[in-house]
Amino acid sequence: MTTWRGAANRIHAFTLVILSAVSAAAQPREPHHYLRTAIGLKDSEIRQAEQGQVIVKVLHTPLKREVAIFGIVWIEATTTFFVDRYEDIENFEKGTGILQIEKISNPPQLSDFTPIRWPEEDIRAIPKCRVGKCAVKIDEASLQRLQSEIDWSAPDAEAKARRLIAEIAYETAQRYLEGGDETLAAYRDKKRPTYLAKEFDNMLESSPFLYEYLPKLHDYLKNFPKAQLPGSTSFLYWSVNEFGLKPLFRMNHVVIYPLEEGHNANVAIASKMLYASHYFHCALELRFLVQDSAHPKDVGFYIISVNRSRSDGLTGLFGSIVRSKGAKRAKDGLAGALLNLKTNLEQNYGRQVAGEQ
């Protein structure tokens, strides 16, 4: 079976291979060559991708608590059109499963967070929480504030809790923009603490392909905000999603990194999870917008997604069952998301082109 590290090295290598190709005739056609050699796609599956069908695959990972999903689909639009809409993340991500979403101001404002509709179940869990045993992922300092600054017997306790949680989320965003991963919390909902900075750093270290082929992006993700990424665009956003048995609040840092200039240029997009109220320790979603090297001037590109996440309860006998179900859900979710993305982008791009004519 293809290992995650070996597969990942080759998955992302094609982005640089395409850029360095002197001509389509002198190099294997990309990304087709790497879809065969790295992902192990059959020729029939590659033809399906060429025809606009979604192809999704679960990748092997050495860590039992990690799930990695690969997906690809061809989109009849330009990468510039995609990026313009992705930067409007609030409208881009709207749809099934997204209960709320908001792009965070730069610098963050407390008003960015006050609209969050925290699930009542999570609010009610706070006074019962203890360090090492809590129904919500939370760090020790935040738990102490919520339990000491609020009179939970008062009739307005829930309203005050919502305001304080919004304040904590606001301060989390502020600290991250000023100090990067070192400021991220340590979850204390389980017996053993989970250090988010350490988890994410370990995820990057197990992604040598990123360091080798996109070293500036790797350095930016690892050393933000000390590291800079000229030409890139970045922002934070939060969302409340339907997920599993409980709604999930999460905060993400997005960076959009054009690898070359042009209306249909290759682009790398990373979305890094900074906090999740349930389920996840850390997550990193990488998207690559890649032209067909045989037709570099044609409208259209492949969008390739590699989503990695580390979660609770995926080890042991019972955990292996949960992991299998989680991987299937993630696979089906990515397939649906790519299909919806293709449909919406192509329809909107077609309307734009028609309006310009």
Segment holding 274, helix H or strand E: strand 267-276
Of 261, 297, 287, give the one whose Cα is nearest residue 24.
Answer: 297
Domains held by the chain: number = 1
pLDDT tens, residue by residue, 255-307: 999 987 766 678 999 999 999 999 888 999 999 999 887 777 778 999 999 99
Beta bridge partners of 271: 254, 285
Who has greater pLDDT, 71 or 39? 71
Residue 84, SS3? helix
Q: What is the pLDDT of residue 106?
A: 94
Q: What is the largest CA-CA distance in the chain?
A: 74
Q: How confident is the model at residue 214 (pLDDT cuts 50, 70, 90)?
A: confident
- Provide the residue range defining the domain that includes 98: 4-356
What are the tens digits of pLDDT across the range 1-46? 444 445 444 444 444 444 443 333 457 887 888 788 877 889 999 9
Residues above pLDDT 90, as percent of the chain: 63
Q: What is the pLDDT of residues 148-173, one digit of tens each?
A: 999 999 999 999 999 999 999 999 99
State the burial class of residue 39 (Cβ atoms within 10 Å of its Cβ: 0-12, 13-18, 19+).
buried
Q: Is the dihedral of CA 200, 269, 253, 90 positive or negative?
A: negative
Give dist(CA 148, CA 115) in Å, integer: 23
| pLDDT per position as a tens digit, 98-125 | 999 999 999 999 999 999 999 999 999 9
